[in-house]
């Protein structure tokens, strides 16, 4: 009997007919409106203003959130300054108990937090469930362990907390960025005022509830919601001793200007345009998975995304063929479906930014590839996209797109790979795929990037420092380096 030969994509579709597997949401209670979390209580905003946060997959309003004005921010900083007096004097072991408790409560409420994160921000539930929430809890767990060992962390340097930390975070990893900011600050004895991003405030407000549940002393953590002007008020408050920001390079520069000469300690984690470099001796199938993870994870809303693929010329054809066929198997759509690989774009504004940059790529002469996929009618969506025929001067090769868009460039020699990889104003991360350990070490020495992943991508661990060079910012988060940003040393 003759076996009919089918093209592989058709075969793939036939073999993998998925049934929707939606995550339940009935265990989750989202209030119609939220107040500010100041001094351990939810308080009505002085501003009397609120704004909506929507589900980007449905465009439905999830809740109305308070918009903090300068008076609200002043109250929050005052509460944090009051709490600092006792929190900073508490023994490290006692602080650790609170922080361990926060970590355990996050684990206990993991499902609720994951669903909330996915509904408010659009990321696939399998990512919030398997990456964001567990890593956030792990950060608290890790830094809780340091709280009573600061003298060992910084031997003979008499580590002292700084005071009130102002922390402004973005919308791509809301709960995880909260953990990166709050956990080391509390472990070192500081108190915090945190402002979540305006499109994703709900997981931070759930965390405020967790602080109450943990009986955290009032004022140690304060959460003020709002947009850029609220963020500017938090950062600019004279009672603040330390500013930590993650977000766009543009706002990072504004904050650096605003804090210059104020004596405030500052760390900035900004944008990126990472090179993911594939040599001809790389294990190709593994590399394909790394490329896909590098740029389509979290819809490409990742500061360290591998958005520039540098491929050695000799393997560009087989690699692109494999990559395109792999793209055809990515499931784009309902973020609450456990099968979904690529969820919703976080906001209409971000979708418009992605569309604008993609159009510039087409106009400048790059060749676009997008797989067939059915997108939901409502919500903000963008197909996984590959650009080939990209010159280094094109905007899609230089600017952070922050969407599921990959620009492919080629190189012939290792030197050319290094030169092209470093030809960017950013310097946050990079990836290298090769069979040779010696080549990895050679390359890593020459890369201007805070993190270089070898034969993997987007791996995170609380013990490992993360941060950038050049326009990607300065300072490190994670590990002992992350703790050092929250202490004064002799």
Among residues 63, 172, 191, 299, which is the contact residue for ligand NAI, using CB under 6 A?
172
Nearest to 319 by CA among 375, 265, 280, 365: 280
- HSE of 340 in the Cβ direction (CA atoms, 13 Å)? 31
* Spatial distance between the Cα atoms of 36 and 190, rounded to a whole number of angstroms: 20
Reported as type and span, the H/E element at residue 486 is none
- HSE of 1 in the Cβ direction (CA atoms, 13 Å)? 2
Rounded to 5°, angle at Cα 454 from 466 and 338: 75
- Using CB distances below 5 to 8 A depending on partner kind, what does residue 97 bind out of ligand NAI, Mg ion, none? none
* Spatial distance between the Cα atoms of 49 and 44, rounded to a whole number of angstroms: 9
From the CB of 127, what's the least distance to ligand NAI, in Å?
15
End-to-end CA distance of the chain: 82
* Spatial distance between the Cα atoms of 332 and 113, rounded to a whole number of angstroms: 22
Binding letters toward ligand NAI, positions 243-262, x by CB under 6 A: ---xxx--x--xx-------
Q: Which stretch binds ligand NAI (CB under 6 A): 49-57, 59-67, 169-177, 333-341?
A: 169-177
From the CB of 21, what's the least distance to ligand NAI, in Å?
30
Max Cα–Cα distance, the chain, nearest Å: 83
Catalytic choice (303, 304, 400, 477): 303
- Contact predicate 68/82, CB 8 Å: no
* Spatial distance between the Cα atoms of 122 and 181, rounded to a whole number of angstroms: 22
Q: How many helices (H) and strands (E) does the chain have?
A: 18, 20
Catalytic choice (67, 117, 198, 269): 269
- CB closer to Mg ion, 72 vs 120: 120
- CB closer to ligand NAI, 126 vs 237: 237
* Spatial distance between the Cα atoms of 403 and 298, rounded to a whole number of angstroms: 9
DSSP code of residue 315: G
- CB closer to Mg ion, 53 vs 385: 53
From the CB of 112, what's the least distance to Mg ion, in Å?
16
From the CB of 120, what's the least distance to Mg ion, in Å?
4
* Spatial distance between the Cα atoms of 120 and 251, rounded to a whole number of angstroms: 23
Rama region for 40: left / alpha / beta (φ>0; ψ in -120 to 50; rest): left
The total of other beta-carbon atoms located within 10 Å of residue 345's CB is 26
From the CB of 431, what's the least distance to ligand NAI, in Å?
17
Among residues 121, 124, 161, 271, which is the contact residue for ligand NAI, using CB under 6 A?
271
Kindly compute the dihedral angle of the four CA atoms of residues 232, 233, 239, 244, in this order, to the nearest 10 degrees: -30
Using CB under 6 A as the binding criterion, the count of chain residues that bind ligand NAI stands at 26
Question: Is position 372 annotated as part of the catalytic site?
Answer: no
DSSP code of residue 131: I
Question: Is position 303 annotated as part of the catalytic site?
Answer: yes
Among residues 38, 168, 332, 396, which is the contact residue for ligand NAI, using CB under 6 A?
168
Q: Determine, following the binding rule CB under 6 A, whether residue 144 of this chain makes contact with ligand NAI.
A: no
Binding letters toward ligand NAI, positions 74-93, x by CB under 6 A: --------------------
Binding letters toward ligand NAI, positions 317-356, x by CB under 6 A: ---------------------------------x--x---
- CB closer to ligand NAI, 222 vs 410: 222
- Using CB distances below 5 to 8 A depending on partner kind, what does residue 120 bind out of ligand NAI, Mg ion, none? Mg ion
Using CB under 5 A as the binding criterion, the count of chain residues that bind Mg ion stands at 3
Binding letters toward ligand NAI, positions 279-308, x by CB under 6 A: ------------------------x-----
Distances from the Cα of 386 to the Cαs of 153, 296, 316, 320, 412, in angstroms? 45, 11, 13, 9, 21
- Read out DSSP for 409-468? EEESSHHHHHHHHH-SS--SEEEEE-S-HHHHHHHHHH---SEEEES--S---TTS-B--
Q: Determine, following the binding rule CB under 5 A, whether residue 199 of this chain makes contact with Mg ion.
A: yes
- Using CB distances below 5 to 8 A depending on partner kind, what does residue 254 bind out of ligand NAI, Mg ion, none? ligand NAI
From the CB of 72, what's the least distance to ligand NAI, in Å?
15
From the CB of 179, what's the least distance to ligand NAI, in Å?
14
From the CB of 90, what's the least distance to ligand NAI, in Å?
29
Hey, which residues between 206 and 235 contact ligand NAI (CB under 6 A)? 227-228, 231-232, 235
Q: Determine, following the binding rule CB under 5 A, whether residue 53 of this chain makes contact with Mg ion.
A: yes
Binding letters toward ligand NAI, positions 437-476, x by CB under 6 A: ----------------------------------------
* Spatial distance between the Cα atoms of 245 and 73, rounded to a whole number of angstroms: 16
Hey, which residues between 356 and 415 contact ligand NAI (CB under 6 A)? 400, 402
Residues labelled as active-site residues: 269, 303
Contact footprint for ligand NAI (CB under 6 A): 168-172, 195, 197-198, 227-228, 231-232, 235, 246-248, 251, 254-255, 270-271, 303, 350, 353, 400, 402
């Amino acid at each position: 009997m003759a076996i009919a030969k089918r093209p592989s994509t058709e075969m793939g579709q036939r073999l993998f007919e998925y049934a929707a597997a939606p995550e339940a949401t009935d265990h989750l209670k989202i209030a119609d409106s939220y107040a500010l979390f100041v001094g351990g209580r939810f308080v009505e905003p002085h501003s009397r203003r609120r704004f909506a946060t929507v589900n980007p997959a449905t465009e439905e309003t999830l809740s109305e959130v308070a918009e903090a004005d300068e008076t609200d921010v002043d109250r929050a900083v005052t509460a944090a300054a009051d709490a600092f007096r006792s929190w900073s004097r508490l023994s490290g072991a006692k602080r650790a108990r609170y922080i361990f408790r926060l970590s355990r409560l996050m684990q206990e409420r993991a499902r609720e937090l994951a669903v909330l994160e996915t509904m408010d921000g659009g990321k696939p539930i399998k990512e919030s469930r398997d990456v964001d929430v567990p890593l956030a809890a792990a950060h608290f767990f890790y830094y809780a362990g340091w709280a009573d060992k600061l003298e060992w962390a910084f031997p003979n340097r008499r580590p002292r907390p700084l005071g009130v930390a102002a922390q402004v975070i973005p919308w791509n990893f809301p709960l995880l960025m909260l953990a990166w900011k709050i956990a080391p600050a509390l472990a070192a004895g500081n108190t915090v005022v945190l402002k979540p991003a305006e499109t994703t405030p709900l997981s931070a407000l759930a965390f405020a509830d967790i602080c109450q549940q943990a009986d955290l002393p009032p004022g140690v953590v304060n959460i003020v919601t709002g947009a850029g002007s609220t963020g500017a008020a938090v950062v600019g408050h004279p009672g603040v001793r330390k500013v930590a920001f993650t977000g766009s390079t543009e706002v990072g520069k504004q904050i650096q200007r605003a804090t210059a000469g104020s004596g405030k300690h500052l760390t900035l984690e900004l944008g990126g345009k990472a090179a993911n470099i594939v040599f001809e001796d790389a294990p190709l199938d593994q590399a394909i998975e790394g490329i896909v993870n590098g740029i389509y994870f979290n819809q490409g809303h990742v500061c360290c995304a591998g958005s520039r693929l540098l491929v050695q010329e000799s393997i560009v054809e087989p690699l692109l063929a494999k990559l395109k066929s792999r793209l055809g198997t990515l499931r784009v759509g309902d973020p609450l479906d456990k099968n979904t690989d690529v969820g919703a774009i976080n906001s209409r504004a971000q979708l418009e930014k992605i569309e604008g940059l993609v159009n510039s790529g087409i106009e400048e002469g790059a060749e676009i590839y997008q797989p067939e996929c059915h997108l939901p009618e409502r919500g903000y969506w963008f197909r996984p996209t590959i650009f080939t025929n990209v010159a280094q001067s094109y905007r899609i090769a230089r600017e952070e797109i922050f969407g599921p868009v990959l620009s492919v460039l080629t190189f012939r020699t290792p030197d050319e790979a290094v030169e092209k990889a470093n030809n960017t104003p950013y310097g946050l991360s990079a990836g290298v795929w090769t069979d040779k350990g010696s080549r990895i070490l050679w390359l890593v020495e020459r890369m201007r990037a805070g993190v270089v992943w070898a034969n993997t991508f987007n791996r995170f661990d609380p013990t490992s420092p993360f941060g950038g060079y050049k326009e990607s910012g300065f300072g490190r988060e994670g590990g002992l380096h992350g703790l050092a940003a929250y202490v004064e040393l002799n």
